[in-house]
Amino acid sequence: MTDLVLFASKASRSLAGYWMLEELGIPYEVVDVDIRERKNREPEFLKINPSGRVPVVSVDGMVVSERPAICALLADRFGYGALAPKIDAKDRGPYLKWLVYATAVLDPAIAVRASHLDAPLRHTTWDSAQDAVDILDQALDGQEWLLGDQFTAADVAIGSVITMAQFNDLLPESQILDDYGNRLKARSAFQRAERLTWPPELFSS
């Protein structure tokens, strides 16, 4: 049996880790690394991930951080051919591109916009949030998921960024992305992951 551990925190980007595991439907253990209590800065966790960020997964003792890497590892290991296109599939290249795009382009572009800075900034590797939205609009126009009819881990990687940005009203307007976000949020695995990451008690008075 695989020893699978998710290091996660409520009210964080741990949504992507939970979501992948819930899509896969496999058993896993959760270690709470509550960022609100700064558990992510404790020496024990910093040995696991020196950046102090969550989520992190451990698969039979192999530790992986960074959301696209977590999505890729779990999809290849437990959802190969379904959540991850096979190595020789024509969609494998676009799939890898979207995995990387999630945090190499989309996430920083949104962060720059949220900080009210001009983008693209000099010496960066991403464009503006509007450019990123235009690119995603073009990719999703007329199809359900990033690779067409097949939902993959790329949708988890991109979708975890988009749904959080939509909740916080950080994206330029786009009906295509609004519809995509609604399809993502309708998935039962997303809903379970959302409850685990943002439980109702966080919003209770």
Q: How many CA atoms lie within 13 A of 180 on its CB side?
A: 31
Residue 18's φ and ψ, nearest 5 degrees, are -60, -45
Cβ-contact 54, 16 below 8 angstroms? no
Residue 111 has pLDDT above 90, yes or no: yes
* Topology of the domain covering 4-82: Glutaredoxin (3.40.30)
For residue 76, the model assigns a pLDDT of: 98
Residue 204 has pLDDT above 70, yes or no: no
The domain limits of the chain are: 4-82, 92-191
Residue 15 has pLDDT above 70, yes or no: yes
**pLDDT tens, residue by residue, 146-190:** 999 999 999 999 999 999 999 999 999 999 999 999 999 999 999
Residues in CB range of 95: below 8 A, 6 or more apart: 84, 85, 146, 147, 152, 153, 154
Burial of 96 (0-12, 13-18, 19+ CB in 10 A): middle
**Which residue did the predictor score with more confidence, 117 or 3?**
3
Question: Which two tokens mark 65?
Answer: 């951080």
For residue 29, the model assigns a pLDDT of: 98
Report the length, in residues, of the chain.
Answer: 205
* Topology of the domain covering 92-191: Glutathione S-transferase Yfyf (Class Pi); Chain A, domain 2 (1.20.1050)
For residue 136, the model assigns a pLDDT of: 98
For residue 201, the model assigns a pLDDT of: 79
Taking the C-alpha atoms of residue 128 and residue 66, their distance in angstroms, rounded to an integer, is 22
- pTM listed for this prediction: 0.95
